[in-house]
């Protein structure tokens, strides 16, 4: 593959075209990659009359189904040179599984269809990050991920606003039609990414033209277990999602119980509010993380969650709940942009970037699965306030672990005196050989 050097790659016409296509793909995949997301809880509560515990169980079953596919999905993205095709197939599966819900609304079909959707959707984060790294390289990766997340959150905000307005007039089932439209647009955007612009070796973190260490073959999978900072990061990510995953569905349920006729519209208001806030924070990560430090941004994302959980308990007022949801934009906006950057830091020159993403997202999925089940049972047993406080406490523990055990991961760009091209993972892998 005749690709220009990394230093000049971002200025080529082919790369500019790839960047625009990635912008569009992130915008339209925003709605597809999460499937029904928090709308599932509102739909099952108001249209199918399920209770909170049953909703929590089926959402956890779906999330657990995705866990089994997560690390293999990362390995597939590492190995394949058909990354665009993998994303297209996944988008189709997510859409078809979600569209089956109104036709088969009983417990078992819902659990199966949402499990399929979750298993297919796990491909998107590593695939998009891999394509971004393979096109733009490490030097521009943080900025590119910040831009990806900016368009992702903008797409979520637009989709949620359309869903909210449409649901007000036509009912909660309108989200199924919106998902179909976004899926078609996402397929066209993915196809617009020039295949020849992607360096597939670089996309898996196998080599780094700006680094001191060059590898011809990927390191062994044991690097996932021997890189201590990666293990610490995985624990922190698990605790982040144990805290975060159930908060928005719980807010949606509280809003729907106040007025089920506008529950979906109020849920959309929460999503739009958060997504609007996520945009500038994703941009901030892209612009400043390399100079301010990657760990600092991740720690800030963790610390937002206990504050958010506590604030939810102060009032059931609709405007208050939607207003507090703005804090989701701060935490999730930072997390979404900094997550692949930290994994890329730790896996630099190992050739295991995407399988490492898959492994850490497996921890993330475990946290999310436990979150919805835990929240559902706490709500039934002790009420919504107890559930919010329990979720916030998980993130507080994660913040302590991050502060004490996770090192700064950024490489030697922008004045950082540490050498480029070496990480705990790559150094230990090379030493083992």
Q: Give the pLDDT confidence score for residue 306 in this predicted structure.
A: 97
Domain 14-432: CATH class, spelled out? mainly alpha
Q: How confident is the model at residue 263 (pLDDT cuts 50, 70, 90)?
A: low
pLDDT tens digits, residue range 321-333? Answer: 888 988 998 999 9
> Higher model confidence: residue 291 or residue 168?
291
What percentage of the chain carries pLDDT values higher than 70? Answer: 85
The position carrying tokens 């999310």 is 368
- The radius of gyration of the chain from alpha carbons, rounded to an integer in Å, stands at 21
Q: At 417, is the pLDDT very low, low, confident or very high (cuts 50, 70, 90)?
A: very low
pLDDT surpasses 80 at 40: no
Which tokens belong to 196? Answer: 């020849």
- At 135 the pLDDT is 93
Q: What is the DSSP letter of 330?
A: H
Percent of all residues in the chain with a pLDDT value above 90, rounded to a whole number? 41
| DSSP state string for 216-271 | SSPPPTTHHHH-HHHHHHHHHHHHHHHHHTTHHHHHHHHHHHH-GGGHHHHHHHHH
Q: Are 205 and 345 in contact (CB under 8 A)?
A: no
For the chain, give every domain's residue range.
Answer: 14-432
Over 90: is that where the pLDDT of 305 sits? yes
> Residue 293 in contact with residue 410, Cβ under 8 Å?
yes
pLDDT value, residue 269: 75
pLDDT band, very low/low/confident/very high, at 414 (cuts 50, 70, 90): very low
pLDDT, tens digit, 9 for 90 and up, residues 338-389: 999 999 999 988 888 999 999 998 898 889 878 988 898 899 888 899 999 9
Alpha-carbon distance 246 to 248, whole Å?
A: 6
Distance CA 38, CA 24 (A): 23
Q: Which two tokens stand for residue 50?
A: 């399920």
* Helix, strand and coil in the chain, % to nearest 5: 80, 0, 20
Of 72-81, 183-192, 385-394, 421-430, which gets the smallest average pLDDT? Answer: 421-430
pLDDT value for 36:
65
- For 351-375, b where at least 16 C-beta lie within 10 A, e where not — what string? bbbbbbbbbbbbbbbbbbbbbbbbb
What pLDDT shows up at residue 215?
52
| C-alpha pair distances (Å), 378 with each of 31, 304, 386, 389 | 29, 22, 7, 10
Q: Which of the 8 DSSP states describes residue 13?
A: H
End-to-end CA distance of the chain: 28
Q: How far apart are CA 346 and CA 353, in angstroms?
A: 8
Q: Which of 151, 413, 142 is nearest to 287 (CA)?
A: 142
Please report the pLDDT score of residue 425 as a whole number. Answer: 57
Average pLDDT score over the chain: 83
What pLDDT shows up at residue 13? 81
| Per-residue pLDDT at 271 | 74
The set of residues, in sequence order, having a beta carbon less than 8 Å from that of 135 and lying 6+ positions away, is: 9, 15, 18, 19, 22, 144, 197, 198, 199
How distant is the alpha carbon of residue 308 from its chain centre?
19
Average of pLDDT values for 75-100? 89
Higher pLDDT, 215 or 357: 357
Is pLDDT larger for residue 201 or for residue 65?
201
Tell me phi and psi for residue 108, to 5 degrees: -65, -50
Count the neighbouring beta carbons within 10 Å of the beta carbon of residue 13.
Answer: 9
């Amino acid at each position: 593959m005749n690709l220009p050097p990394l230093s000049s790659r971002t200025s080529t016409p082919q790369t500019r075209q790839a960047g625009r296509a990635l912008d569009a793909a992130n915008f339209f995949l925003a709605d597809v990659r999460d499937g029904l997301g928090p709308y599932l809880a509102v739909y099952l509560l108001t249209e199918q009359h399920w209770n909170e515990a049953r909703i929590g169980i089926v959402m956890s079953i779906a999330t657990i189904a995705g866990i089994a596919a997560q690390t293999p999905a990362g390995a597939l993205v590492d190995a394949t040179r058909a990354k665009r095709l993998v994303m297209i197939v996944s988008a189709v599966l997510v859409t078809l599984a979600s569209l089956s819900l109104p036709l088969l609304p009983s417990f078992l079909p819902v659990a199966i269809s949402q499990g399929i959707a979750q298993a297919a959707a796990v491909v998107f984060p590593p695939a998009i990050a891999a394509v971004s790294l393979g096109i733009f390289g490490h030097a521009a990766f943080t900025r590119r991920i910040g831009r990806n997340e900016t368009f992702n959150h903008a797409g979520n905000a637009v989709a949620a606003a359309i869903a909210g307005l449409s649901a007000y007039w036509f009912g909660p089932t309108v989200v199924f039609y919106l998902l179909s439209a976004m899926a078609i647009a996402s397929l066209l955007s993915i196809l617009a990414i020039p295949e020849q612009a992607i360096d597939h070796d670089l996309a898996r973190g196998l080599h780094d033209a700006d680094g001191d260490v060059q590898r011809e073959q990927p390191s062994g999978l044991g690097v996932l277990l021997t890189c201590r900072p990666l293990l610490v990061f995985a624990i922190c990510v698990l605790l982040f999602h144990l805290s975060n995953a159930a908060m928005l569905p719980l807010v949606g349920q509280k809003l729907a119980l106040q007025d089920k006729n506008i529950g979906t519209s109020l849920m959309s208001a929460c999503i739009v509010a958060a997504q609007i806030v996520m945009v500038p924070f994703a941009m901030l990560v892209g612009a400043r993380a390399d100079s301010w430090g990657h760990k600092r941004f991740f720690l800030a994302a963790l610390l937002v969650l206990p504050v958010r959980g506590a604030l939810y308990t102060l009032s059931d007022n609709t405007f208050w709940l939607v207003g507090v949801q703005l804090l989701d934009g701060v935490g999730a906006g930072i997390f979404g942009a900094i997550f692949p950057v930290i994994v890329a830091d730790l896996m630099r020159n190992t050739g295991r970037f995407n399988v490492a993403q898959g492994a850490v997202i497996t921890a993330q999925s475990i946290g999310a699965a436990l979150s919805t089940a835990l929240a559902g049972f706490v709500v039934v047993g002790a009420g919504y306030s107890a559930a919010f406080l329990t979720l916030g406490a998980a993130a507080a523990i994660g913040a302590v672990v991050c502060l004490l055990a996770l090192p700064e991961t950024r490489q030697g760009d922008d004045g950082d005196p540490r050498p480029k091209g070496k990480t705990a993972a790559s150094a230990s892998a090379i030493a083992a050989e």
